[in-house]
Amino acid sequence: GAQAGASPRFAGVLSELAGLRDQVYECRAEHRAALDKVASLEAENSSLKRRLQEAERFAAELEARSSEVESERDAWRRRWDETHKKLEESWEQYEALQRRWEQTEDRIFETRKREEHIRKCLREAEQLLEELGRPLVPRSRSHTSPRSSEDQRAVVQPLVLPVSAGSPDDSDHDSLPSTSNETPVHAHSGDPCFGFDVRLPVAPLSPRKGSLPSNSCITRCSVSMSEFFSGAEVSSPDVAV
């Protein structure tokens, strides 16, 4: 009876042991799975550590590069400021040069106007010289004295101006012919280039009145210097060219 009562109890223990064994197997499988999971997690952890280290190194490099870029930015900013300042100075110099150029153009224009005026004055002076260099043509050819071939070939011949009466007492000397006693008088019109010989006849000695003063030839000349230099025609018939 005791063995019969012990057999079901032994069977229950065996069944419990079988269940415990199955649980142990399951726990071992779970343990192996857990160990595999731990190994995989450790590998992942190590890879993450390596990536973290790489990220930290890259961050350090980026920080160094950022500092370099900031320093370059400051340098470029200083260069920009210097370039902007130089550009402003260049604009000021350009404006000054433009003003000087305009002033120079004005001076050149004024100089050209003065040169044109000077050329005009020179042309007028040359024309005046040509007019003064020509001999005066009398109105009547009958009163001209004969000239030799050498005198006709002369470029500029002396002009003989008659002496007219300057006072009632000198009525005998109203018209004096040209003689060999002609005295050359240099006439000037403000410029040494306009000077040429004007021969004034000297009156012969008169037994009644004596010799004339030396300055009376100029004061009693029928043609004044202003009329002579202005190109007026001599009206006296006694003018000989």
- The larger pLDDT score, comparing residue 202 to residue 106, is at 106
Nearest Cα neighbor of 235 from 149, 137, 150, 152 is 137
Q: How far is CA 82 from the centre of its chain?
A: 28
Q: Which residues contact 204 (CB under 8 A, 6 or more apart)?
A: 179, 181
Structure confidence at residue 17 (pLDDT) = 87
Q: What percent of the chain has pLDDT over 90?
A: 40
3-state DSSP call for residue 173? helix
Rounded to whole angstroms, what are the CA distances from 51 to 6, 47, 108, 176? 65, 6, 80, 138
CA distances from 174 to 115, 179, 221, 224, 240 (A): 50, 15, 11, 16, 16
| Residue 169: domain span | 139-229
* Last residue in a domain, options 88, 107, 133: 133
Q: Which of 138, 127, 130, 142 is nearest to 223 (CA)?
A: 138
Between 64 and 239, residue with greater pLDDT: 64
More confident residue, 210 or 90: 90
Of 86, 103, 133, the domain-final residue? 133
Q: Note whether 44 and 92 are same-domain residues.
A: yes
Residue 21: what pLDDT? 87
3-class DSSP assignment, residue 95: helix
* Of 9 and 218, more confident: 9
**Contacts (Cβ under 8 Å, ≥6 apart) of 163:** 173, 176, 200, 201, 203, 216, 217, 220, 221, 222
pLDDT at 129 exceeding the cut of 80: yes
Q: Is residue 105 part of a domain?
A: yes
Residue 91 lies in a domain: yes
pLDDT at 152 over 60: no
Identify whether residues 94 and 195 lie together within a single domain.
no
Q: Report d(CA 124, CA 189) in Å as an integer.
A: 14
Rounded average pLDDT over 37-50:
92
- pLDDT-based confidence at 113, cuts 50/70/90? very high
Residues 117 and 158 in one domain: no
Based on the domain organization, do 129 and 162 belong to the same domain?
no
This prediction's pTM: 0.32
pLDDT at 237 over 70: no
What integer is the mean pLDDT of 22-33? 89
| Residue finishing a domain among 107, 133, 159 | 133
Q: What is the rounded average pLDDT of the residues 107-130?
A: 94
119 and 19, same structural domain?
Answer: yes
Least confident piece of the model among 97-106, 113-122, 184-193: 184-193
**125 and 167 assigned to the same domain:** no
Reply yes or no on whether the pLDDT at 97 is more than 70: yes
The total domain count for the chain is 2
My answer on whether 146 and 128 are in the same domain is no
Confidence of residue 1 (pLDDT cuts 50, 70, 90): low
In whole angstroms, what is the distance from residue 143 CA to residue 107 CA? 58
Shared-domain flag, residues 104 and 10: yes
* Domain shared by 3 and 120, yes or no: yes
Q: Are residues 64 and 171 in the same domain?
A: no
Strand ranges in 139-204 using DSSP code E only, listed in sequence order:
159-160, 182-187, 196-201
Q: Answer yes or no: do 28 and 108 share one domain.
A: yes
